[in-house]
């Protein structure tokens, strides 16, 4: 998240914080589902076969995707507007705008 270009460092750290919270929430859901699967398997009389299958599917889903897909999904979700080309971020990412911003900065530095 910090390596993705952003207008300011504050924006980068804000996006990083949002991504960290999303990853933490997904990990909590993963642990809760794993506990539910354990109890559904250990105490079969309390859960129906359908519920056990659903919990096993969710457990397999979260375990396989939390290390492979979720980091990309979090990044893409936070940068959605930039990726689809809408909003302020899309205008700033155009080569002309970047060139103009660099020129303006270098003129300010020279005095």
pLDDT in the model for residue 17: 92
Query: pLDDT digits over 66-81, tens only?
Result: 777 888 888 888 887 7
Asked if residue 90 has pLDDT above 80, the reply is: no
Q: Are 82 and 30 in contact (CB under 8 A)?
A: no
Q: Determine the Cα angle at 24 with ends 67 and 79, to 5°.
A: 75
Query: pLDDT digits over 10-55, tens only?
Result: 988 998 999 899 889 988 988 998 899 999 888 888 888 898 899 8
So where are the chain's domains? 9-78, 85-111
pLDDT in the model for residue 21: 92
**How many other C-beta atoms are found inside a 10 Å radius of the C-beta of residue 94?**
11
């Amino acid at each position: 998240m910090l390596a993705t270009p952003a207008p300011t460092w504050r924006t980068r750290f804000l996006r990083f914080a949002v991504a960290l919270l999303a990853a933490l929430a997904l990990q909590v859901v993963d642990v809760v589902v794993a506990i539910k699967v354990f109890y559904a398997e250990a105490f079969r009389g309390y859960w129906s076969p359908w519920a056990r299958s659903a919990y096993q599917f969710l457990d397999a889903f979260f375990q396989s995707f939390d290390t492979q897909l979720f980091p990309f999904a979090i990044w893409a979700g936070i940068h959605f507007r930039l990726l689809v080309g809408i909003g302020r971020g899309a205008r700033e990412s155009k080569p002309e705008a970047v060139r103009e911003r660099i020129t303006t900065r270098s003129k300010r530095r020279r005095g």
